Amino acid sequence: MKKILALFILSAAWSLGAAERPVFYFFHSENCPHCHEAKPFMAELKKKYPDIEFRELEVSRDLVNREILLKKAQQLGISRIGVPLFIIGKTYISGFKKGDFEKKITDLIDAQLTGSSIKVTTPPSGLTIMQKEAIDIDEAIGRCYAQGPAAIPDCLKKGKKRLEDLSLVIAGQVTAILEKMMIDGRMVPQKAAYLDQQALWKKQVEAEAAIDEAFCRAHNATNCEGLALYLTVQHLQGRVQKLLGDLQSAQSLPAGR
């Protein structure tokens, strides 16, 4: 898990440090009509400026986003905080009315980009990071069998732990995407079904491992615990690939409303 978290930190450092990707904040509220009016324009901006990172933060329900809004307002010296609020760099525009604000916001972005001489590159996606981690784990597990019989069990246990951690991270990302798919304030059936699927799979793997080991012992075979470990690792490797497919599919799903 530490290695996976380190990968996320490195990717964040790349996007914020080496690339210095401009960030455009759009603070909005569910109950704000002008915020809803601004959303189609936000979609246009994303297409027009693909090298900008757009962060749309809802503040009426999300306390974390509200704290980010307060911190940004304090940094910029905004005394009267309201939404919609658009921030890029050290400049901002508060409010929105169709036909009046589009050019102001576009000019704000263009001024920010013109004043930046840093080349923008695209950071690796979460899916890419997870895929690379899965390949690294598979290669490490493959090297286990070249270490000799005495070292194989501990090596496989380390690989098993990394696979379990990776599975949790990927499943968490898929669940987070499904969480956003709300229809009229209700959770879509996909999320509940997906969570049930994860819980069922875990029970199945545990049951299969126990059955394999019991069958082995019933036939008075040797190293039954090692066999169960080997089969569990294989199950986990297959599961990670399935989860990576789930994440790729989830990323293509339409956003909720």
Asked if residues 188 and 196 have their Cβ atoms less than 8 Å apart, the reply is no
Angle between helices 152-179 and 189-218 (to 10 degrees): 160
According to the model, what pLDDT value does residue 122 have?
Answer: 41
The domain spans of the chain are: 20-114, 126-251
Q: Which residues in the chain land under pLDDT 50?
A: 1-19, 117-123, 183-185, 187, 256-257
According to the model, what pLDDT value does residue 85 have?
Answer: 94
pTM: 0.46
Cis peptide before 124, with omega less than 30 degrees from 0? Answer: no
Encode pLDDT of 190-212 as tens digits: 556 666 666 666 677 677 767 76
According to the model, what pLDDT value does residue 25 have?
Answer: 94
According to the model, what pLDDT value does residue 54 have?
Answer: 93
Determine how many CB atoms are found less than 10 A away from the CB of residue 127: 15
Q: Pairing between strand 91-94 and 186-187?
A: unpaired
- Give the strands of the sheet with 53-58, arranged side by side: 53-58, 23-28, 85-88, 91-94
CATH of 20-114, one of 1.20.950.20, 3.40.30.10, 3.90.1150.10, 3.40.50.300: 3.40.30.10
According to the model, what pLDDT value does residue 41 have?
Answer: 95
According to the model, what pLDDT value does residue 26 have?
Answer: 95
SS3 86: strand
